[in-house]
Structure 1
Amino acid sequence: MSQDLQTFLTLAQAIDAVAADFGQYDPQPELFRKISTLILGSDFKISILNGSERAWIRRNNDQPFELVNDTALGFYLIHVLETIKIDSASMAQICTQVFETPAIPGELEGEHGVWIENQMNDFVCNRCGNCCRNLENACVREDLQLWESLGRIDILSWVKKKQLDNGQVQYRAWIDPQTGQPADSCPFLGQHPDTDLFYCTIHAIKPLVCREYPYTKKHAKKTGCRK
């Protein structure tokens, strides 16, 4: 496949991407259990408890298995990925499962990693508006700089800055300027009269997270896209 239709991730970038996937959605028990075998091997097992499948992990060979819930299992898998030395072939198998798209081991400019198939080259928005009603409430400094340069006080009033303990600044959108609470829907989502078609009223200057949406078909599905 042409590299134009693939995205290359180093092993570290691939692990970061998997962690981002886990953090972005609700726990994904079926996925977690599939890749637990790839990551943990014999230190992972499934049993039936009270009529339901339950996951067990063993942190060290000299320790007994312990029961974990789905959220804890997701965190533990990322912890293990960040502490072990994983090869490109195994990482490609994990990425295939996590991102629901083919991934193969490879390298770029001498760096080992995985090539992940780009699913979105033929994506066409059908203007259902669901993505705008399943908000990620994120924007970046570059978004604010653009809106500030344009004097878009109407947009800036919906953005909240938060100083983090590490000294960095987090930007959250869309926060209702009247209540201080996250909006249920993007305040800049418009609807064509008498239709089910929606549009962005700030399309030319919308946040980066909106311009890049959707990252994958899985991301589209998880956020209600009708594509």
Structure 2
Amino acid sequence: MRYDIVIVGGGPAGLSCAITIGSAVEHDMEFAKGKKVLVIDNGNSDLKSAKLNNVPGVKRGTLGKELLEDIKNQAKEYSCVEILEDTVQKILKNNGFVVQTASGNTFEADVVVLASGFKAFDIEGIELDVVENPLSPKPGRVMIKTSKSYEALDKNANVVENLYVAGLLAGFSSMFSCAAGSGVQVGINILNKYAGKPIVIHDVP
């Protein structure tokens, strides 16, 4: 099955990216018409074990697992967004990307977003420049080097076009707002490329 965008990871970054793109499709923006987004999530987001006291707009004491479920439901409100429980094992570049999962699913996509967290990166296929995450308070956490637009770099420092990295895996701090904001920015960067110019998605009462 083919999607325009496959997002690997259903935590704050991945879901925020999906919501951003979904909102552009819902606004019927010409460059976003008909775009389909698939989020593939293995269910291991660290947000599930969090209690949130310092997230703007979120009630103090909110449990991370409850907020994560709310964000998933928000993403599902966009008909162009699908969420699949599975684990991505391999990503190949072949006239776009081919994404293979542990359960045997294969998907094709024009754009892939890696938002699978910073504990490890063991997806096979494209050889990316994976280094230690300097903003992690714990040792052994990783990030993928990226361009200024958050497209991944391979081991020769070449940009892998249309392969984006978001959240902690892009080197952001392990804070909800940092991860979510990163996902939003990657979503906007993808939409900017579709539009051929900088865009924003604003609503008014």
User: What TM-score does the superposition give when structure 2 sets the normalisation length?
Assistant: 0.28
Higher-Rg member (1/2)? 1
Higher helix proportion = 1
Relative contact order, higher structure (CA 8 A, sep 6+) = 2
User: What TM-score does the superposition give when structure 1 sets the normalisation length?
Assistant: 0.26
